[in-house]
C-alpha cells in the first residue's frame, strides 16, 4: 500500500510538471525479469522511466542521491539500490543485488553512463550492466529520454538549477525499444539507445 501511495504521488508530480509522451511501453514485459537501460539527462529520469510501467522498477542510484534528506524515504519505499562509486566493494555488492532481483523475476533499471549528461548528448556506457545480466537470461530493454536538457534538473549551464529554459511543463519523450536478447557491447548498446531519439 505504501508503495502504491508513493507511486501515485510521483505519477501526479510527473504529469503536473511535464508533458509526457511514451512510445513502445508494450516492450516492457508485464511479468518476468528485464533490465531497463536508459540515457541519463536529468535528476527526473528515474521518475519518468518508472512512469512507463505499472510494475516496480528497482533503480540503481548513486549513494549521495539515495541518502538525500527528504527523498531517502521515497527511495527506500521504491526499493532503489544505492551504489557507492567511491567503494569498489560496495559497487560490486550493488551490482550483485541488482542481479539477484533479475533472478527473482523483477524489473531493474540502470543508467550506464554513470552520470547526468553535461552536454545533452549520450556519454560512453560503462560495463556494469553486463555484470547484472550475467547468467540471468534477462533481456535488455533500451530506453531513451529526451526533452529535459535545459530544465533546472538537468546540467545545462553547468549544474542543477543553472538553467530555467524549460521550467514550465516541457515536452518529454520516452521511447522504449524492443527487448534485446543477445549480448551487446557497451558501444553497441549506447548506439541502440541513441537511435531511439525521436526525429521530431
pLDDT at 1: 58
3-class DSSP state of 185: coil
Mean pLDDT of 20-29: 96
Q: What is the mean pLDDT of the chain?
A: 91
Kindly give, in sequence order, each residue whose CB lies less than 8 Å from that of residue 100, ignoring residues fewer than 6 positions away: none
> Lowest mean pLDDT: which of 40-49, 77-86, 93-102, 182-191?
77-86
Residue listed under C-alpha cell 540515457: 39
What DSSP letter does each residue of 59-104 carry, written as one string?
EEEEHHHHT-TTTHHHHHHTT-EEE-TT-HHHHHHHHHHHHHHHHT
Distance CA 63, CA 27 (A): 30
149's grid cell: 536538457
The residue ranking higher by pLDDT, 147 or 76, is 147
pLDDT at 141: 98
Convert the pLDDT of each residue in 163-199 to its tens digit.
Answer: 888 888 899 999 999 999 999 999 999 999 999 998 7
Residue (of 89, 81, 49) closest to 65 by Cα position: 81
Distance CA 118, CA 48 (A): 19
> Lowest mean pLDDT: which of 18-32, 97-111, 148-162?
148-162
Amino acid at each position: 500500500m505504501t508503495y502504491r501511495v508513493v507511486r501515485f504521488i510521483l505519477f501526479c508530480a510527473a504529469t503536473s510538471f511535464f508533458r509526457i509522451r511514451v512510445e513502445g511501453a508494450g516492450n516492457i514485459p508485464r511479468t518476468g525479469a528485464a533490465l531497463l537501460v536508459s540515457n541519463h539527462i536529468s535528476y527526473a529520469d528515474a521518475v519518468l522511466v518508472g512512469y512507463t510501467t505499472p510494475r516496480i522498477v528497482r533503480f540503481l542510484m548513486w549513494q549521495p542521491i539515495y541518502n538525500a534528506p527528504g527523498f531517502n524515504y521515497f527511495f527506500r519505499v521504491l526499493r532503489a539500490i544505492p551504489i557507492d562509486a567511491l567503494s569498489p566493494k560496495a559497487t560490486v555488492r550493488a551490482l550483485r543485488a541488482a542481479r539477484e532481483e533479475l533472478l527473482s523475476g523483477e524489473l531493474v533499471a540502470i543508467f550506464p553512463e554513470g552520470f547526468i549528461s553535461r552536454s545533452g548528448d549520450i556519454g560512453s556506457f560503462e560495463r556494469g550492466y553486463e555484470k547484472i545480466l550475467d547468467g540471468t537470461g534477462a533481456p535488455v530493454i533500451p530506453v531513451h529520454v529526451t526533452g529535459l536538457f535545459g530544465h533546472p534538473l538537468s546540467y545545462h549551464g553547468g549544474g542543477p538549477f543553472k538553467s530555467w529554459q524549460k521550467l514550465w511543463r516541457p515536452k518529454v519523450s520516452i521511447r522504449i525499444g524492443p527487448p534485446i536478447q543477445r549480448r551487446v557491447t557497451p558501444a553497441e548498446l549506447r548506439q541502440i539507445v541513441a537511435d531511439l531519439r525521436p526525429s521530431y
